[in-house]
Structure 1
């Protein structure tokens, strides 16, 4: 009922948003003499600020029509190459010369944590000059009819395995934040089965492998509240008239509210600065604000079963580092990983996945040789800076590219290391 009321209130504001948009247009039109005054620009800025803070932001587009390869600009075509009810696999196909040696295949697994995969637009853009990039485009759960069935953490792992099979051997996988746990689990399952489609390398970035290390506010909240609290307070049926009407979901707007409350003062200051940019006619500053918040405020719902299973497995019971995680009833043993090279990346000031939580993967994957593992901490960046921004492009991307190039399948003929049994943490 709460979600339905939220939708009704949002719909009720539609006339006010339309009026505010008309006011903004009237007082920003250069033919209106008031648009050239501070008074007129203040009215237009107030109207735009109201409209933007009350609208529903739709799914953004990647909008990456070209990239630079070997110093030349080449066109890029975005194509769906694999599809299931809850996810589409997108390929950023570059128009390369036929005689050019192909770049390594890179599967970027985007987080299913409330935002769309386009949050990783900068990640994709930075990797395209160096790799043949694919990315998981998760579907808003409220847009999936109930008739398509459930989707939980086990299904997520199956999807990752299915995509690796679709891409074929010598694929490299990169998990950003939340998918670090299911991607590590998928690699362990595939190695245990002797699956030849197991990835050549696995890059885990800012992921909650072991949230007992340096716990953040997010981790503390999960342990203090317990699973029943989350089930009773944040799981709701998708509202009418969405295609997924009646499906139990964790609404994206609740996740967004939680993220914004963690840094509320920053968001208030950002919107105040946006207002002043508009009044001062600072187009560049205002456009940067629009670009960021058009992405940040666009959210999607998660299926209740996936959300609750993830909270319970990762944040409450710490099943993976304790050696207690299962998939379809079978144990997930990271010690089974012997051939997949492992790179972990963390941000020094990450307030979502604390320092050391991702590095914990090395303690679990005890059978990966030291020569095929690496860990890097990026100074002065928070969670977002681990996968986006100038420091990511200048300092993290070269390390990922070098790691992938050194540990491709062409090195697979090396002797396999001795298998060591894992011990529970």
Structure 2
């Protein structure tokens, strides 16, 4: 019923958004008298803000056309190199890359947003790396015949992606996937898998949420797991290929995202309204571009979501040494030669300071020379992987770390 009610509301709002957009165009039409009056531009701006907020959104494109390196522009090629039911492996490269350029697997969050949320991350790192990224599927678009997808499957996907890319690959996990990426690294390290990561960088990841818990962590522990299953899990309606699949819907996740900083979001839309009234289209477009991405959400499978709540936020299974994959306990001491970089933001209100850094302490058999911690001053959660501070201050730290631990061909296959 919840999902069907949302679909009805979405249909109504979509129609209202279309009418609002048409009204805004009419009120700003220079051939009509409304466009020259004081009231016309104000009403048009209000309608445009409403139309943008209510308009339906699909999956965005990465749309990374070119990259500039050392003053030279190169065309970027995007391709699907591996197709899986619950997520493709994408590759980005350009002709200006060196033959021995590092290969970097970016593990995008499966937390409501599409992988395109990391567009800025990809665009910056592809300057000097062959970049791969996990392009997770919208669960409502995956037929039930494809089976289930949970934390075990997530880890298996990462291992499979690393096997496809080959030995010596570097891994960057942004936020939520820090946990399964860390687990996959431990599993592969314990088995001395030839495709284990050369480096693993975790940014704003909830490795141990007992450290500096945030409001997100508090929400996850205030209710028993059964509450989440009964109140936020829904069934995909018949209008989608994944009809019948149990999911945590993207629209509920977006509501949670917005509620966390509701005042800030309201002020952003008010600022956009003022920019439109003043004729500052460039500033308004910048806000629109952010919300086009931010409001594009997808569903995740109930199995994966509930297991994440249980093991990452409620039971703290990984830092307590109780995390199990396919029936076997994950031994973090298996990480012996994968260099670890933990990056946190000083103003991160999603993953508190210390939650990602905990990964360095838990890797007890890894030499200290292969561990590094970086605290990005005056940076929030989103700024860790996107924006000017990411490009100018954080990305160089990551590039240096990759360069320090780039394996030669013989070492990569060891």
* Alignment TM-score > 0.5, same fold: yes
Residue 44 of structure 1: aligned partner = 44
Tell me the SS of whatever aligns to 1:43. helix
Residue 171 of structure 1: aligned partner = 169
Residue 133 of structure 2: aligned partner = 135
Residue 83 of structure 1: aligned partner = 83
Q: Offset of 1:226 from its aligned partner? A: 1.8
Contact kept, 8 Å, 1:347 with 1:383, in 2: the verdict is yes
In 1, the alpha carbon distance for the partners of 2:154 and 2:400 equals 29
Output the aligned Cα RMSD.
Answer: 1.5
Residue 350 of structure 1: aligned partner = 348
Tell me the SS of whatever aligns to 1:84. coil
Change in 2 beyond 3 A, CA 1:413/1:78 = closer
Tell me the SS of whatever aligns to 2:148. coil
Aligned pair count? 413
Residue 20 of structure 1: aligned partner = 20
> Equivalent of 1:329, from 327, 332, 345?
327
Task: List alignment gaps of at least 5 residues for structure 1.
Answer: 417-425
Contact kept, 8 Å, 1:113 with 1:302, in 2: the verdict is yes
Residue 181 of structure 2: aligned partner = 183
Q: Offset of 1:413 from its aligned partner? A: 5.6
In 2, the alpha carbon distance for the partners of 1:27 and 1:152 equals 50
Change in 2 beyond 3 A, CA 1:158/1:273 = same
Q: Offset of 1:251 from its aligned partner? A: 0.5
Contact kept, 8 Å, 2:340 with 2:370, in 1: the verdict is yes
Q: Offset of 1:36 from its aligned partner? A: 3.7
Residue 227 of structure 1: aligned partner = 225
Tell me the SS of whatever aligns to 2:379. coil
Contact kept, 8 Å, 2:172 with 2:201, in 1: the verdict is yes
Contact kept, 8 Å, 2:344 with 2:376, in 1: the verdict is yes
Tell me the SS of whatever aligns to 1:13. helix
Of stretches 356-365 and 9-18 in structure 1, the one that deviates more from structure 2 is: 9-18
Q: Offset of 1:34 from its aligned partner? A: 2.5
Q: Deviations over 1:210-239 (max 9, x none)?
A: 000000011111111121110110000012
In 2, the alpha carbon distance for the partners of 1:38 and 1:127 equals 47
Q: Offset of 1:180 from its aligned partner? A: 0.2
In 1, the alpha carbon distance for the partners of 2:176 and 2:161 equals 18
Contact kept, 8 Å, 2:93 with 2:126, in 1: the verdict is no
Q: Deviations over 1:124-165 (max 9, x none)?
A: 111111211111111100111111110001000000000000
Contact kept, 8 Å, 2:85 with 2:137, in 1: the verdict is yes
Contact kept, 8 Å, 2:67 with 2:74, in 1: the verdict is yes
Residue 385 of structure 2: aligned partner = 387
In 2, the alpha carbon distance for the partners of 1:6 and 1:286 equals 28
Contact kept, 8 Å, 1:213 with 1:355, in 2: the verdict is yes
Q: Offset of 1:315 from its aligned partner? A: 0.3
Contact kept, 8 Å, 2:93 with 2:129, in 1: the verdict is no
Alignment of 1:174-253 (within 5 A): 174-253=172-251
In 2, the alpha carbon distance for the partners of 1:294 and 1:27 equals 24
Of stretches 18-27 and 305-314 in structure 1, the one that deviates more from structure 2 is: 18-27
Contact kept, 8 Å, 2:336 with 2:366, in 1: the verdict is yes
In 2, the alpha carbon distance for the partners of 1:172 and 1:327 equals 22
Contact kept, 8 Å, 1:4 with 1:240, in 2: the verdict is no
Contact kept, 8 Å, 1:89 with 1:134, in 2: the verdict is yes
Q: Offset of 1:18 from its aligned partner? A: 2.3
Residue 369 of structure 1: aligned partner = 367
Q: Deviations over 1:253-284 (max 9, x none)?
A: 11111111111110111111111111111111
Q: Offset of 1:388 from its aligned partner? A: 1.1
In 2, the alpha carbon distance for the partners of 1:362 and 1:113 equals 24
Residue 5 of structure 2: aligned partner = 5
In 2, the alpha carbon distance for the partners of 1:137 and 1:291 equals 20
In 2, the alpha carbon distance for the partners of 1:14 and 1:171 equals 44
Q: Deviations over 1:271-309 (max 9, x none)?
A: 111111111111111101111000000000000000001
Q: Offset of 1:412 from its aligned partner? A: 7.5
Residue 147 of structure 2: aligned partner = 149
Q: Offset of 1:68 from its aligned partner? A: 1.7
Contact kept, 8 Å, 1:79 with 1:93, in 2: the verdict is no
